[in-house]
Structure 1
Amino acid sequence: MVSPRLLFGRVAHFRKRPAHHGFVYPVFCLRVPLSQIDALAGPLFGVDRFNLFSFKRRDFGPRDGTSLETWARKILADGHVAEADGEIVLQAFPRMLGYAFNPIGIWYCHDRAGQLRAVICEVSNTFGEHHNYLVAHGDRRPIAPGDWLTAAKAFHVSPFCEVEGHYRFRFTERGEHHTARIDYHDRDGPLLVTSISGDEREITTGLLARTFIAYPFMTLFVIGRIHWHALRLWAKRVPWFRKPEPPLQETTR
């Protein structure tokens, strides 16, 4: 049975135009099988309650504290991905001292043999809005390392990008190493290249204590860095676009 893990690595983001801009930061993420959420509970980790680290169901999916697996299974069913009938692993930042902001939560949806069949990318912006992108092969074959999948952009994330064009996704799982790459293309071609990658480790109380010492303000820095880089883009005179109304549909397929 797959157990909850911490993924240690980096997030990288690069903009190609009209001004070059990029950053790379060390981060860690939680990777939790939806069937094992309650196994996270421990001396330093709370489930649906405050602790040094915590995971709250209301931070994801329906955002009402109800079953995350039920929510994800409905998205898969509505998207006609019956092959994804195995474990679903959610990768996201946990709360630290009660706070976290997740620009993206990645839901890896496997079949019963452990093959990746679909991915739900749950995207959040700083306006409190959320949208999901369900990506899978058209013929529903397993998603292999190096495969590219696409989805039309439907949701406002950054005021420095219009809601147009499409995303290209690539997910690589090789043993304990995981990489998610998301490229954004507008009408003029590739604009943004973003990735999060790292190696996972089994969660222990000792590892959590060391992680807190090594990354004491990481979840707070996530939102802080978003605004810092927005200021830098503004200083570089990158065009600013007004936020449109969010899409009526919850999920883009």
Structure 2
Amino acid sequence: MSALAPSVCFGAVMHERHGAAANRFVYRGAFLRLPLSALPTLRVPLLGTERANLFWVRNADHGARDGSPLLPWVRSLLAQHGLAPACDGEVVLHTMPRVLGYVFNPVSFYYCHDRSGALRAVIAEVNNTFGERHNYLVHHDDLRPILPADQLLARKVFHVSPFFPARGEYRFRFSTHGAVHTVAIDYWEGGEHRLSTRVSGSARPLCRASLMHWLLRQPLATFAVLARIHWQALRLIVKGAAFHRKPQPPLEETSR
């Protein structure tokens, strides 16, 4: 499948905490990859775009959060940071849809390509359990294409987990090998590798059969994400992980 085609990806999510209170878990996961230029006219059984369905992608859950279309929001953000000329191709949204009306997306990604299809920048749209959000915009300084082995850095400024401080840096890698799409995020703080996260999935065509497979495989996907977050938090408390109070969110909605 083309990396720019609408698809459903089935795979796994892995988190591994290093150092004190070490902890590791792997869960089955699924996500959508949606080219934003096609989103307004996308018609797939069981999937609603701006209309309720078993699976539902809602503009108000992303971007400006006011229900406005996502592609103009992405183009405007890229223009504000001087990236519009390099990112003049398709933008693909990697996200979890609402399932049975509910969603919690710890992170969604906007893959911003040039006209030749090369990846030039990525927006990581992060949500925490306090209802706050922040965008990390990552790219090479010279805006060259992002390759699978490339590591992109972003200073951590947004509180996500009470078991890590809002400082340090993220190191992102984005790769596609055949039909398999992978995001690797490593968190470093104080010169130490503190956390590894991997989100990976094999793409299938976005169709009724794929969505039915998702529904039968993970009917309570949203609730499972929240339940796992709280279960792993309990495990870390039992292991004696240090607790960090939530600071005020950053004043800027997007950081680089």
With structure 1 as the length reference, what TM-score do the two structures score?
A: 0.97
Aligned to 1:129: 132
Whole-angstrom CA distance in 2 between matches of 1:143 and 1:92: 20
Amino acid at match of 2:172: F
Structure 1 spans left out of the alignment, 5+ residues: none
Aligned to 1:31: 33
Are 2:241 and 1:238 equivalent residues in the alignment?
yes
Whole-angstrom CA distance in 1 between matches of 2:210 and 2:142: 41
Aligned to 2:71: 69
Which residue of 93, 96, 99 corresponds with 1:96? Answer: 99
SS in 2 for 1:85: coil
Whole-angstrom CA distance in 1 between matches of 2:81 and 2:141: 11
Amino acid at match of 2:29: V
Task: Please tell me whether the aligned partners of residues 4 and 39 of structure 1 are also in contact (alpha carbons under 8 angstroms).
Answer: no
Q: In percent, how many aligned pairs have the same letter?
A: 49
Structure 2 spans left out of the alignment, 5+ residues: none
Offset of residue 74 of structure 1: 1.6
SS in 1 for 2:104: coil
Aligned to 2:119: 116
Aligned to 1:53: 55
Range 168-177 or range 116-125, more displaced: 168-177
SS in 2 for 1:102: coil
Offset of residue 154 of structure 1: 0.6
Amino acid at match of 1:7: C
Offset of residue 39 of structure 1: 4.1
Aligned to 1:22: 24
Are 2:22 and 1:4 equivalent residues in the alignment?
no
Whole-angstrom CA distance in 1 between matches of 2:22 and 2:114: 40
Offset of residue 50 of structure 1: 1.8
Task: Please tell me whether the aligned partners of residues 13 and 195 of structure 1 are also in contact (alpha carbons under 8 angstroms).
Answer: yes
Offset of residue 115 of structure 1: 0.1
Offset of residue 218 of structure 1: 1.4
With structure 2 as the length reference, what TM-score do the two structures score?
A: 0.96
Offset of residue 203 of structure 1: 1.3
Task: Please tell me whether the aligned partners of residues 171 and 181 of structure 1 are also in contact (alpha carbons under 8 angstroms).
Answer: yes
Aligned to 1:83: 86
Are 2:165 and 1:162 equivalent residues in the alignment?
yes
Are 2:109 and 1:106 equivalent residues in the alignment?
yes
Q: 1:24 to 1:40 in 2, by over 3 A?
A: farther
Aligned to 1:149: 152
Aligned length: 253
Whole-angstrom CA distance in 1 between matches of 2:152 and 2:122: 10
Aligned to 1:228: 231
Amino acid at match of 2:226: I
Deviations 1:58-99 (A, max 9, x none): 100101110211111122112222201100000011111001
Aligned to 1:42: 44
Deviations 1:182-219 (A, max 9, x none): 10001141100001011111011122112211111112
- Root-mean-square deviation (CA, aligned residues, Å) is 1.2
Aligned to 1:198: 201
Whole-angstrom CA distance in 2 between matches of 1:211 and 1:64: 28
Task: Please tell me whether the aligned partners of residues 98 and 222 of structure 2 are also in contact (alpha carbons under 8 angstroms).
Answer: yes
Amino acid at match of 1:174: H
